[in-house]
Amino acid sequence: MTVQMYLIQPKDREADQARETIAEYIAQRGGFILMATSYGSLIAAFDDRHLEAVKAHYLVEFASGVTLNLNAPGAEALRQLFAENVAAQLVERGLTQPGRPAANAPPPTASGGFPPGYRPLRWPTRQAEEGDE
């Protein structure tokens, strides 16, 4: 049982409902959505024993492991975003409360709770990124 990071590509990249359904499927297996990209993909972390089930999901076109190069530009910002999104999902699942770390969690940030910029996971869209609201 090893938690790994995966890139998940839905069959229909334009359908937010497909991403929501895939995210729920991963959450039911104890996994987390680390990030939703503007191109329709999800970056998720879950136990590797669930990979074949995720690949076989009727809404998933592609699922494969991904590794973050910690020395790459922007890597720290991605790690921060991943942490914020996992924190939001832990709160949503009732496993912790805002301002209180989960059991066995790393020490809290200087603010005493979740990292600065804490916010719920949101699905970005290409239209919003291009300024066409």
Summarize pLDDT for 69-123 with one digit per residue, the tens: 989 998 888 998 998 889 888 888 887 766 655 554 444 443 344 433 434 455 5
Shortest CA distance to 87 belongs to which of 56, 111, 57?
Answer: 111
CB 102 within 8 A of CB 96: yes
Shortest CA distance to 18 belongs to which of 99, 107, 123, 97?
Answer: 123
Query: Does residue 12 sit in helix, strand or coil?
Result: coil
Domains of the chain: 3-65 (3.30.70.80), 75-121 (no CATH)
The one-character DSSP state at 50 is: G
Residue 119: predicted pLDDT: 41
Residue 1: predicted pLDDT: 67
Query: Does residue 124 sit in helix, strand or coil?
Result: coil
pLDDT for residue 23 is more than 60:
yes
Q: How far is CA 48 from CA 4, 8, 44, 117, 123, in A?
A: 6, 13, 11, 30, 24
